Amino acid sequence: MKKLKTLFALFFAMFKIGLFTFGGGYAMIAIIERELVERKKWIEHEEFLDVIAIAESTPGPLAINAATYIGYKIGGVLGSVFATLGVVLPSFTIIYLISLVFDKFLSLVWVQYAFRGIQACVAFLILSAGFKMLKKLKKNIFNVVFITLTIGCLVGFSLFAIDFSSIFYILIGGVVGLTVYLIGYIKSKKSKTVIDTRQESEKANGGEE
């Protein structure tokens, strides 16, 4: 009975977060913190920071990741299901209802004019989000080369109507990152063993003299 109560509390807390967070991801952090850390005290502030760090390094929306993690902490696997469902349900319902009338709405001529304006704005919104992330990135050769290559390929391929899914770019990036690391690792090991054997041979030489 108490367990059921916890599950519903989780569900409703997350439902509220899902319902009132516009602008996605980072806008949610402050609200999640106020609701779950300060008010409900379901999770310590320190651990909450860990959750954000984890959410940033794993795929998927931040809100979903945070909900799943906190739900698991409070109520196990069932808790994570309830929490995730809670955070998804508001947007699901709202967007589903919009999808039913969106085409009709868009067929109004004044709405079309408005959306022609909005399209220019959306291009700007995405560009500014990209630049914001660009500023946060470390400026090393690896990053600069990769960003330039990605932008060049993406724009070039799309202009020449070449089909190449963004999924591949991401996987290639990850694999190259891993390869560079492994090469560095093997090299450092090799040079270490070279030094080791040199020291040993020096020792052996010293012993002979």
Q: Of residues 12, 30, 45, 131, which one binds other proteins by CB under 8 A?
A: 131
Does position 125 bind other proteins by CB under 8 A?
yes
Q: Of residues 38, 56, 200, 202, which one binds other proteins by CB under 8 A?
A: 56
User: Taken in order 55, 59, 63, 69, is the CA torsion positive or negative?
Assistant: negative
Instruction: Give every CB contact of residue 38 below 8 A, 6+ residues apart in sequence.
Output: none
Output the six-digit token pair for 114: 């408005």
Does position 1 bind other proteins by CB under 8 A?
no
CA distance 168 to 154: 11
- Chain residues 136-175 in contact with other proteins, contact rule CB under 8 A: 137, 142-144, 146-155, 158-161, 163, 165-167, 169-175
- Single-letter amino acid, residue 39: R
CA distance 87 to 64: 7
With respect to other proteins, which residue has the nearer C-beta, 117 or 207?
117
With respect to other proteins, which residue has the nearer C-beta, 25 or 199?
25
Does position 73 bind other proteins by CB under 8 A?
yes
What 8-state DSSP symbol labels residue 161?
A: T
Q: Of residues 126, 186, 194, 195, which one binds other proteins by CB under 8 A?
A: 126
